[in-house]
A and B are shown apart, each in its own frame.
Chain A
Amino acid sequence: DTAVSQTPKYLVTQMGNDKSIKCEQNLGHDTMYWYKQDSKKFLKIMFSYNNKELIINETVPNRFSPKSPDKAHLNLHINSLELGDSAVYFCASSQDLGGQETQYFGPGTRLLVL
């Protein structure tokens, strides 16, 4: 009964491949996010969705395409993977939209591009 879950936990792949990461939350929240945490531990928001609608796209390359089939799920598809995409990707959710909402993070997906 994990609140925010992600799959897979680890992903090792070759440059140029396409991969997807899935996220699900069972908290009944309306808003979901994708963050990238690089090797220096910087946490950078990539996207946010509210009730399946894209709210934030933080100048992420269009090789990254999020998709929210319903408000409990937010997936991230990455095309033509590059070495610089290696990072930990965290999904998060919050009750509602807004900068004052507590965000609950998933366990992270560790992506390594070779």
Chain B
Amino acid sequence: GENVEQHPSTLSVQEGDSAVIKCTYSDSASNYFPWYKQELGKRPQLIIDIRSNVGEKKDQRIAVTLNKTAKHFSLHITETQPEDSAVYFCASEATNKLIFGTGTLLAVQP
């Protein structure tokens, strides 16, 4: 069935460093890949998304890349700040729903 693998499960970086989270999806028909951020005790919120007609999208310090051939997509956060600490979920489009990855707990050490 449809599946999204996400790595790493935890990631600790120093403030100012970059963080990269990677996902692999199984459904070759997927064309939409959003990323959600969930702060501790809060709701997941969309931070960036990418569609299959582009290979990269950037929004200030965050960027997402997509390799449709390899069925990989990644989230890149540059110049990390303590407020970036959260759980990040990738997701891929399936029929009438999103399939979420297992989440990455990012800790940014001041």
Contacts and interface: CB of A to CB of B under 8 A. Distances in A.
B60 interface: no
Interface residues of B, number: 25
A103 B96 contact: no
A43 B96 contact: no
* Dominant secondary structure of chain A at its interface with chain B: loop
Contacts, number: 52
Contact of B100 (A40, A43, A48, A98): A43
* Dominant secondary structure of chain B at its interface with chain A: strand
A105 B45 CA distance: 7
Contact of A45 (B38, B43, B87, B97): B97
Given A41-B87, A42-B102, A102-B49, A97 B96 contact: yes
Max chain B C-beta neighbours (<10 A), residue from A33, A41, A42, A55: A41
A107 B49 contact: no
Nearest to A96: B96
Nearest to B93: A99
B96 A56 contact: yes
Q: Determine the interface band of chain A, counting residues with CB < 8 A from chain B.
A: 20 to 34
Contact of B98 (A103, A106, A107): A103
Contacts of B31: 100
The 10 closest A-B pairs by CB, nearest first: A99-B93, A105-B43, A100-B32, A43-B100, A41-B103, A105-B44, A99-B94, A97-B96, A102-B46, A107-B43
